[in-house]
Amino acid sequence: METLAILGASSQIAKDLIRSLVRDGQSSLLLYVRDCEAMRAWLAGEFAGQPHAPLRVAGYDEYDTVPHDAVLNFVGVGDPQRAAQMGGDIFAITQQFDDLALAGLRRHPQRRYLFLSSGAAYGSDFAAPASADMRATVAINALQPQDYYAVAKLHAECKHRALPDLAITDLRVFNYFSRAQDMAARFFITDMLRAIRDGSVLHTAPGFMVRDYLHPQDFHQLVRRVLDGPAANQALDCYSAAPIAKPELLALMQRRFGLRYEIGETLPGAIVNATGGKPHYYSLNRKAAELGYQPAFTSEKAITLESAIMLGRPAVLDQIMDAK
């Protein structure tokens, strides 16, 4: 059985992956976090009475004291409001934990390293979706705070490509959605969910955008493909079976969940745009398909399924399951 180390194991996307890895039963997990007691409490509640592979929780000061086959680095911020508050500190945090993983990799070059990157590494120019030929753009003479997150990810990826003999895979996540999403986070999707939950009206600007929401099962599939595939130094864009445009997303949430919304000028501060505006924030780069990755969920299906569970709408959930 392989042993996987997970840095930042308390993040939402890491917890979702832990659930999937426990279910597939192929790995023992070393979980590294700041608050060990909180992580142990979560594990006790999540897997109580369930047989599973070994799960060990430790602080970061213990990293690399236990042998492992691969390390997955989830340390970072997933909420745009937190990213905005963090400001330039994002550089030091990203580098600190990236260097921690790389130091272990240099001591054990047979080990694999999966780094959670972001579509933001391409920069802020998403007038068109990302592609294999797209260049990263950085306003080097006019850097703004919303650029810091993207530059931190790009810097880490550049470091990784400069180590071609090491098996490092950067997974660029564009948008990700699961039932464990923090409803207080400032994403467009959570703004909609709060409006539905509270019975309020969502006020949204008229601008057009397209987003690609990755489902946890597809993310797990991609991670599994990387771990089971040939060792490589590479970057892979994450993608669902199909993205969704803002008008279709609003209509979907209105039809399925009764969302009420108004399109017009939004109040100052109503939108948290910590990484810049991106009208077409998704990728057409299908390099991951070379590993056998085939997403099972469209953005529409992922959002409908996970939202129905979050909002406690069994009727909608039954409709989705009946449609399979």
pLDDT score of 108: 98
pLDDT score of 1: 85
pLDDT score of 256: 95
The more confidently predicted of residues 141 and 52 is: 141
d(CA 7, CA 97): 8
Pick from 212, 213, 211: which is nearest to 279 by CA?
A: 211
The more confidently predicted of residues 317 and 165 is: 165
The more confidently predicted of residues 124 and 293 is: 293
pLDDT score of 85: 75
pLDDT score of 250: 97
Domain spans of the chain, in order of start: 69-183+214-242+280-297
Neighbours of 66 (CB within 10 A): 12
Range scoring the smallest mean pLDDT among 60-64, 167-171, 310-314? 310-314
pLDDT in tens, 268-289: 555 545 455 689 999 999 999 9
pLDDT score of 52: 73
Q: Give the three-class secondary structure for 315.
A: helix
pLDDT in tens, 187-226: 899 999 999 999 999 999 888 999 999 999 999 999 999 9
d(CA 245, CA 268): 24
**Rg of the chain's alpha carbons, rounded to an integer?**
20
Average pLDDT over residues 44-70: 91
pLDDT score of 49: 74
pLDDT score of 266: 59
Angle at 21 between CA 63 and CA 180, to 5 degrees: 95
Starting from the edge strand earliest in sequence, which strands make up the sheet with 167-173, in order? 55-58, 27-32, 2-7, 70-73, 112-118, 167-173, 234-237
d(CA 123, CA 135): 9
To the nearest whole number, what is the mean pLDDT of the chain?
91
Which CATH number does 69-183+214-242+280-297 carry? 3.40.50.720
In the predicted model, is pLDDT for residue 324 greater than 80?
A: no
pLDDT score of 153: 95
> Cβ-count burial of 208 within 10 angstroms (0-12 exposed, 13-18 middle, 19+ buried)?
exposed
The tokens of 304 are what? 């409908």
pLDDT in tens, 74-103: 998 665 566 667 788 999 999 999 999 999
In the predicted model, is pLDDT for residue 323 greater than 80?
A: no
Cβ(50)–Cβ(117) under 8 Å?
Answer: no
pLDDT score of 278: 86
Average pLDDT over residues 242-252: 97
pLDDT in tens, 110-120: 999 999 999 99
The CA–CA distances, whole Å, from 89 to 123, 156, 172, 260 equal 19, 15, 21, 38
> What angle, rounded to 10 degrees, do the helices at 12-24 and 36-46 form?
50
pLDDT score of 125: 80
Pick from 257, 249, 259: which is nearest to 309 by CA?
A: 257
Average pLDDT over residues 170-186: 93
**Phi, psi (degrees; rounded to nearest 5) at 148:** -60, -45
Say how far residue 169 (Cα) sits from the centre of its chain: 15
d(CA 91, CA 148): 7
Average pLDDT over residues 130-147: 91
Cβ(65)–Cβ(32) under 8 Å?
Answer: no
List beta partners, residue 214.
Answer: 176
pLDDT score of 40: 95
Average pLDDT over residues 235-245: 98
